[in-house]
Amino acid sequence: MSAELPAKKSNASRYLFLFLLGLVVGAVATVMAMRAIDQRSDHFPHSVMQVMGKHVGLLQRTVQQNRCAATDSVPHVRTLRAMSNDLELAFPDLAEDQRFTEHASQFRAKLDAALAAPPTDCAGAAKLVESAKESCQACHQDFRH
């Protein structure tokens, strides 16, 4: 009897150790799994949208700051135009949908027109911001879930 007692004690601490080890291994495995999932997902579509969102925001800021020369808006419109080339590349599944390509084409046409005749005052720049946002919303309404 007296020989069994110490053995029971050390078993309890062994279980505690194994339990804690299990927790640590589980946590590490979870982090590794989440990283693997994150790396496998394609960040490109979100990145295209984030960059466009940033430049629409910056374009809007030129109006708010009353800086509405063509040289203020054109760099943002150019970037939007360049990113808009990647809409189909970013969403290859949607690119087969005619409505998606129509939204994308109309957006590009709008930006082409803005580059051909850039706004020269804040009223024009504000209109351009609104018009760009309408294009974003039109496509999102149909395709963003």
Angle at 90 (CA atoms; ends 131, 57), nearest 5 degrees: 35
Contact status: 63 vs ligand HEC (CB under 6 A): no
CB of 68 to ligand HEC, least distance (A): 19
Distance in angstroms (rounded) separating the CA atoms of residues 60 and 122 = 10
The nearer residue to ligand HEC, 45 or 124, going by C-beta atoms, is 45
At position 39, the amino acid (one-letter code) is Q
Distance in angstroms (rounded) separating the CA atoms of residues 87 and 31 = 32
| Choice from 49, 74, 95, 126 touching ligand HEC (CB under 6 A) | 49
| Choice from 63, 103, 110, 125 touching ligand HEC (CB under 6 A) | 103
* 56 C-beta neighbours (distance < 10 Å), count: 19
* 97 C-beta neighbours (distance < 10 Å), count: 13
Contact status: 143 vs ligand HEC (CB under 6 A): yes
CB of 130 to ligand HEC, least distance (A): 12
Binding residues with ligand HEC: total (CB under 6 A): 22
Q: How far is CA 133 from CA 55, 59, 92, in A?
A: 11, 11, 23
CB of 82 to ligand HEC, least distance (A): 12
The nearer residue to ligand HEC, 13 or 41, going by C-beta atoms, is 41
* Residue numbers at the binding site for ligand HEC (CB under 6 A): 45-46, 49-50, 52-53, 56, 80, 87, 91, 94, 100, 103-104, 107, 132, 135-136, 139-140, 143-144
